[in-house]
Structure 1
Amino acid sequence: MTEWLEVLKAHGVQEGQIFRRIRKGGHLGEPLAPAAVRDIVKERCALAGIDGRFSAHSLRAGFVTEAGKQNMPLPETMAMTGHQSVATVVGYFRAESALGSKVSRMLDGDEPSAKP
């Protein structure tokens, strides 16, 4: 990912979509349409043998979910995704990934209680 961000920067792309057409000679073109990104995601999921309903937003949800799993600060995550609302960004978090978290184990009694 870092390498791609360097390519974008070298081509003067400071903001906007990061998924762009690559033309002959490695020249960076216009941003891909959301439908093109969706089709690429669906095709790659199928090639990987992953079943499910995926879209371009699956990339955003995956990023938000992984950032949450790695305890990244929410404001930094929101800066990367462009979200303005905490409620909206939290909606992208995939709850099933939280099943292995400390929070989910609190009900099992496996984690020490926060109560004195």
Structure 2
Amino acid sequence: MSETVAGIRRTSTESASRQVKGLTWDLLSEVVEQIDTDELVGVRDKAILLLGFAGALRRSEVAALCLENVALDDDGMRIRLDRSKGDRTSQGVEVAIPRGITALCPVRAYEAWLRAARLKDAKGPVFRRVWLPPAAQAGDPPALPSMGTEALSDRSVARIIQKRCLDAGLTGDFSGHSLRRGAITTGARDGTDLVSLKRFSRHQTFGVVEKYIEVEDAMTNTTLAELS
């Protein structure tokens, strides 16, 4: 159990199925920096990307997040996932994300979304659909965007990730799984041991964790601590 990810990297000859590209921390930073947070939809999408990465969340988990299941304090945030693929006992899973001090802190991005969407004291879905306003007529004040009450679907989360990657000029097969895959690969690049990575990703087996690690990316060195 003491072996590190660096010691178990190896290529697979069984990768016949589609492998989406991981949105590792360096790529994620590029994507987030291109988001216009003067727009409500931009504030939402920044929070989705940073939170999904920091918690190694599945797109379905991002979509299903409820305000009642997120607790904030000075240290960060705790997310309770009532339903998670890796939770075989259906007891719920808690994900803790520490607070940082930079503009790329996921906790701060989440709080910015709550303020912009006026959800601070609300209940229900965290991430909701935003309709862009029609263009204002000459001389009229700009119209405000409107927001729905229903949760985004997991497919919507995937489309947001794909769109933001495209807007940033990234090439590759990015999808709803890219945040989770990228977070795990970033941890491997830091030399995080396999036991810690398994705990972080909430996978049931070490073999599945290993499949998430992109060998070519795992050879360089960056740090998850940059989240703060």
Q: TM-score range by the shorter chain?
A: 0.5 to 0.7
211, 214, 217: which one aligns with 1:94:
214
Distance 2:182 2:212 in 1: 8
| Identity value in percent | 24
| CA 1:28–1:97: 2 relative to 1, 3 Å | farther
Q: TM-score, normalised by structure 1?
A: 0.64
161, 164, 184: which one aligns with 1:64:
184
Name the structure where helix makes up a greater proportion of residues: 1
Q: Cα distance, 1:72 vs. partner?
A: 1.6
Is contact 2:185-2:217 (8 Å) kept? yes
50, 74, 80: which one aligns with 1:14:
80
Deviation readout 1:14-64 (Å, 9 max, x if unpaired): 22578x996941246336432122111101101100011111111111011
Q: Cα distance, 1:81 vs. partner?
A: 1.6
Distance 2:167 2:184 in 1: 24
SS at match of 2:124: strand
Q: Cα distance, 1:93 vs. partner?
A: 0.5
Supply the RMSD in Å over aligned alpha carbons. Answer: 3.6
| CA 1:52–1:29: 2 relative to 1, 3 Å | farther
SS at match of 1:53: coil
Q: Cα distance, 1:74 vs. partner?
A: 2.0
SS at match of 1:29: coil
Q: TM-score, normalised by structure 2?
A: 0.35
Gaps of 5+ in 1: 102-116
Distance 2:152 2:166 in 1: 20
Residue 200 (structure 2) pairs with residue 80 (structure 1):
yes
Residue 156 (structure 2) pairs with residue 36 (structure 1):
yes
| CA 1:43–1:9: 2 relative to 1, 3 Å | same
What residue identity is the alignment partner of 1:14?
Answer: R
| CA 1:12–1:98: 2 relative to 1, 3 Å | closer
Question: Number of matched residues?
Answer: 98
1:40-59 correspondence runs (5 A): 40-59=160-179
Is contact 2:186-2:218 (8 Å) kept? no
Distance 1:90 1:68 in 2: 9
Gaps of 5+ in 2: 1-49, 56-66, 85-94, 96-109, 126-150, 222-228
